[in-house]
Amino acid sequence: MIDFPVYKNDGAKEHMRALIDLKNIIAKQLPKMPKEYITRLIMDRKHESMLILKKSDTQNKVIGGVVYRPFEENGFVEIAFLAITAIEQVKGYGTRLMNKFKAYLQKKGIKYMVTYADNNAIGYFKKQGFSTIPRIPKHLWYGYIKDYESGTLMDCYLNPDIDYNNISNELKKQKAALLEALKKCYHFEIYKGLELEQKEVKRKRKEEDLESEKVFSSIPGIAESGWNLQLYKKSLYFY
């Protein structure tokens, strides 16, 4: 059972405990960040946190979260920290948290997320739709967010037409629909392979043979599929 509540420093005991647990996770996962600074931002009343609570019969355990500052009038949030506890990393929780967070922000009319990403986490942020090429207009964020010496400025556009709560299923359905459509457009036929004597195989493997258009187009099905040696070489160049 997983829950994604949003808490801030509102004095409620349960919320404060959970925020301290999140602070401890962040401090462990981002050891270069001073603990006092992390505590100050999490407890700052302009900041909020979306947590991941893993529920069991006996307790609710915080396993990660994202700390952010909303700038609702400018239509963006600044992500200050994001971390998942070590033993729960690379199990998909970071992605689930980000999708829940996007859906939550979408409802509030927020259009962008901005962050100074730790250089080790750039790969993760890219997979969540963040980019180092800015999409948010500069006048909306410049001078508003904190400036960090290390780290890379990244932003993410929240598309109002995407259902982020259901994005994995949506993508699976789109992939299946695309494959079905492709099957209808293309004619599939399995051709018999080349029948060659051992000696002939050796000879054909010679570079000058493989490079020849004649040998290439003699492979059954190649010409019918629209391929030729030139296209084949071009495809090698791109990959």
CA distances from 110 to 9, 78, 139, 140 (A): 22, 11, 16, 12
Q: Which of 74, 89, 152, 212 binds ligand ACO (CB under 6 A)?
A: 89
For residue 82, state whether it binds ligand ACO (rule: CB under 6 A): yes
Stretch that binds ligand ACO, among 12-20, 84-92, 158-166, 209-217 (CB under 6 A): 84-92
Min dist. Cβ of residue 28 to ligand ACO (A): 9
Residues with a known catalytic role? 78
Closer residue to ligand ACO (CB): 50 or 121: 121
Min dist. Cβ of residue 113 to ligand ACO (A): 10
**Contacts of 16 by beta carbon, 8 Å cutoff, 6+ apart:** 9
For residue 150, state whether it binds ligand ACO (rule: CB under 6 A): no
Q: Which of 1, 45, 58, 90 binds ligand ACO (CB under 6 A)?
A: 90
Judged by CB under 6 A, the number of residues near ligand ACO is 22
What is the β-pairing status of strands 48-55 and 60-71?
Answer: antiparallel
For residue 76, state whether it binds ligand ACO (rule: CB under 6 A): no
Q: What character string, x for contact with ligand ACO (CB under 6 A) and - otherwise, covers 120-149?
A: xx-xx--x----------------------
Beta carbons of 176 and 110 less than 8 angstroms apart: no
Q: Which of 22, 79, 87 is nearest to 53 (CA)?
A: 22
Min dist. Cβ of residue 195 to ligand ACO (A): 42
For residue 154, state whether it binds ligand ACO (rule: CB under 6 A): no
Both structure tokens of 9: 């420093």
For residue 21, state whether it binds ligand ACO (rule: CB under 6 A): no
CA distances from 48 to 32, 54, 62, 154 (A): 22, 19, 15, 20
For residue 29, state whether it binds ligand ACO (rule: CB under 6 A): yes
The dihedral region occupied by 139, where left means phi > 0, alpha psi between -120 and 50, and beta the remainder, is: alpha
**Can you tell me the distance from the alpha carbon of 103 to that of 162, in angstroms, rounded to the nearest whole number?**
9
Q: Dihedral of CA 79/85/86/87: which sign?
A: negative
**Which residues would be at the binding site for ligand ACO (CB under 6 A)?**
29-30, 79, 81-84, 89-95, 115, 117-118, 120-121, 123-124, 127
